[in-house]
Amino acid sequence: MIRIEAELPRDDLMGVSDALRIIDVSVNITKVKGRGKGVGSKVHAAKGTEMHRSEFQDKYIVQVTAPDSIENDVIEIIQSNSKTGKITIFPVSRVIDIGSGVENEQALALNEYDSVILAAAKNQNTSFPFGVAAEKVKFSPPHTEGEKGYYDVIEKKFVPLDVLESVIYHVKPVERFQILSADDQVVIESMTRVKRNFSLYKMKMSDSYSQAFLKYVASRFLSLWPEQEINATILYVDIVGSTKLATLLSSEELSGVIKVFSEEMSVIVSKHAGFVLKYAGDAVIAFFPELRDFGNMAENAVRCANSMNMLIKHSLNPIFVSLGLPAIRVRIGIDTGKNRIVFLGSDPDLIGHSITIVSKILPLAQPNQITMGDTAYKILSSDMAEQFTKINPDDKKWNYTHPGTGEIYPIYFSRHLS
């Protein structure tokens, strides 16, 4: 016999206990002291909606004694009838987090807030990990009588029946990660979010759902390969003249500007197959890993950078001006290379030559301009490469020598300023 314990909130208790009793196992329920009986806080989702966040005000332990042979059946029942919590099997051999489905060491590492964020993502239909949903493949009947399969109307090719299961979802990187336009729905969503967030900040409240979730996703992604190298494109975006802003604005106003700027840049990163690595004052640092299903990582970063400039121009600055705040401008730096995943404290980070390069070339750009290192430039398509021009090192007093080549490292600037 084994003992299985599930730590559950009150809302899930009845469904789990009733379902367990159907399979005729011993069920014992004990209440654990919670944090009071007040209503839990709300998590504001990226599109402006609200969702109740369970704080486990009433927490219960469901203890099940069952034969070893039905361990998986008991676990499945608990998972099917609850949204969040932890399952522990005694003697301890498995620990399962209900919200994410991860087990053992990973489940133990998840805290209550992690589980809530994961549950929120599922309820908001957020596509893990990028925030963009894949398009379902559209099929039509075969063109030829007797063919066993379907016709993929997107790829315009026949799909045999035996491989149909492998093409349930279809991702077109070039179509999914386009440069966002001023009339895109994302601008309306952004303006709604910025207005709401400024109101919350004035009430001394915080709405960091998007930032918290996206930073969480990046940490979980990097935690999969500790102390290993990944190939990625790095993007820095920071506010030009933030020191001057600090003299013009109150600390509350400056804080609000930086918070909404960081939030909006984070959302845009997630829409271009990128991850938020960290926040550093008025800068957002992101990485775009080399993933087969999501196309050219450097091009994703360039599309993201152009979308950032668009969003600042058509969403953030109009709202800032309407509130009596100064408009902002940014600089963006991009480069590609191998980066090692390291743990500095509890959170994973990236260390690599490309991060160093980006931090060096970023100050050379003009406001609203993108500057790019040679490694990233070399993997751009010819059409996208035409957006950039190589600089004369003498013009910018650029004399950085690449340790691999021993020569001045070439850098490029975007031709058109937003």
CATH code, 341:
3.30.70.1230
> Is residue 85 included in any domain, yes or no?
yes
The answer to whether 85 and 101 have CB atoms below 8 angstroms apart is no
What is the C-alpha separation between 90 and 2, in angstroms, rounded?
6
Q: Which residues contact 164 (CB under 8 A, 6 or more apart)?
A: 149, 150
Q: Minimum mean pLDDT among 50-54, 205-209, 381-385: which range? A: 50-54
What is the C-alpha separation between 49 and 99, in angstroms, rounded?
21
| Residue length of the chain | 418
List pLDDT tens digits, range 214-241: 777 788 778 777 788 889 999 999 999 8
Judgement on whether residues 260 and 360 belong to the same structural domain of the protein: yes
For residue 211, give the nearest of 270, 252, 253 by alpha carbon. 270
Share of the chain above pLDDT 70, in %: 69
Judgement on whether residues 303 and 329 belong to the same structural domain of the protein: yes
Q: Minimum mean pLDDT among 112-116, 207-211, 261-265, 316-320: which range? A: 112-116
pLDDT at res. 317 = 95
Q: Which residues pair with 30 in a beta bridge?
A: 61
Run of H or E residues at 354: helix 353-361
pLDDT at res. 154 = 47
List pLDDT tens digits, range 241-283: 888 888 888 888 888 899 889 989 998 998 888 889 999 888 9
Q: How confident is the model at residue 313 (pLDDT cuts 50, 70, 90)?
A: very high
pLDDT at res. 68 = 81
The Cβ of residue 181 has, within 10 Å, a number of other Cβ atoms equal to 12
Judgement on whether residues 165 and 188 belong to the same structural domain of the protein: no
Q: Order the strands of the 26-32 sheet from edge to edge.
A: 26-32, 59-66, 2-9, 86-90, 95-97
Judgement on whether residues 193 and 91 belong to the same structural domain of the protein: no
Judgement on whether residues 99 and 151 belong to the same structural domain of the protein: no
Average of pLDDT values for 102-112? 52
CA distances from 10 to 30, 54, 82, 251 (A): 11, 10, 10, 42
Share of the chain above pLDDT 90, in %: 29
List pLDDT tens digits, range 363-415: 999 999 999 999 999 999 999 999 999 988 777 778 888 888 888 999 999 98
For residue 204, give the nearest of 243, 266, 251 by alpha carbon. 251
Q: CA-based Rg of the chain, rounded to a whole angstrom?
A: 25
H helix intervals, 2-130 = 10-22, 71-80, 104-109, 112-123
pLDDT at res. 410 = 93
For residue 105, give the nearest of 224, 283, 198, 232 by alpha carbon. 224
Q: Which residues pair with 348 in a beta bridge?
A: 343
> Is residue 130 included in any domain, yes or no?
no
For residue 335, give the nearest of 309, 308, 353, 310 by alpha carbon. 353
pLDDT at res. 160 = 64
pLDDT at res. 130 = 37
Judgement on whether residues 65 and 149 belong to the same structural domain of the protein: no
What is the C-alpha separation between 52 and 98, in angstroms, rounded?
18
**Residue 207 pLDDT exceeds 80:** no
> Is residue 316 included in any domain, yes or no?
yes
Q: What is the dihedral of CA 115, 118, 119, 121, to 10 degrees?
A: 160
The per-residue pLDDT of the chain, averaged, comes to 76
Q: Which residues pair with 5 in a beta bridge?
A: 63, 88
Q: Minimum mean pLDDT among 49-58, 66-75, 76-85, 222-231: which range? A: 49-58
344: left (phi over 0), alpha (psi -120 to 50) or beta: beta
pLDDT at res. 152 = 54
Judgement on whether residues 217 and 153 belong to the same structural domain of the protein: no
Judgement on whether residues 105 and 201 belong to the same structural domain of the protein: no
pLDDT at res. 197 = 79
Q: How confident is the model at residue 134 (pLDDT cuts 50, 70, 90)?
A: very low
The pair of three-digit structure tokens given for residue 129, joined into one six-digit string: 């990990």
CA distances from 304 to 57, 73, 319, 331 (A): 41, 45, 21, 13
Spacing of C-alpha 130 from chain mean position: 5
How many folded domains does the chain comprise? 3
Q: Which residues contact 255 (CB under 8 A, 6 or more apart)?
A: 201
CATH number of domain containing 29: 3.30.70.120
- Which of 66-75, 167-176, 244-253, 333-342 tops mean pLDDT? 333-342
Judgement on whether residues 201 and 326 belong to the same structural domain of the protein: yes
207: left (phi over 0), alpha (psi -120 to 50) or beta: beta
- Which of 146-150, 206-210, 312-316 tops mean pLDDT? 312-316
The Cβ of residue 112 has, within 10 Å, a number of other Cβ atoms equal to 16
> Is residue 341 included in any domain, yes or no?
yes
H helix intervals, 207-296 = 209-222, 242-248, 251-270
pLDDT at res. 140 = 47
Range of the domain at 148: 135-170
Judgement on whether residues 293 and 379 belong to the same structural domain of the protein: yes
Average of pLDDT values for 160-177? 53
pLDDT at res. 30 = 83
> Is residue 128 included in any domain, yes or no?
no
pLDDT at res. 171 = 46
Judgement on whether residues 328 and 258 belong to the same structural domain of the protein: yes
Q: How confident is the model at residue 360 (pLDDT cuts 50, 70, 90)?
A: very high
The Cβ of residue 263 has, within 10 Å, a number of other Cβ atoms equal to 23
Average of pLDDT values for 276-296? 87
Judgement on whether residues 244 and 377 belong to the same structural domain of the protein: yes
Task: State pTM to two decimals.
Answer: 0.63
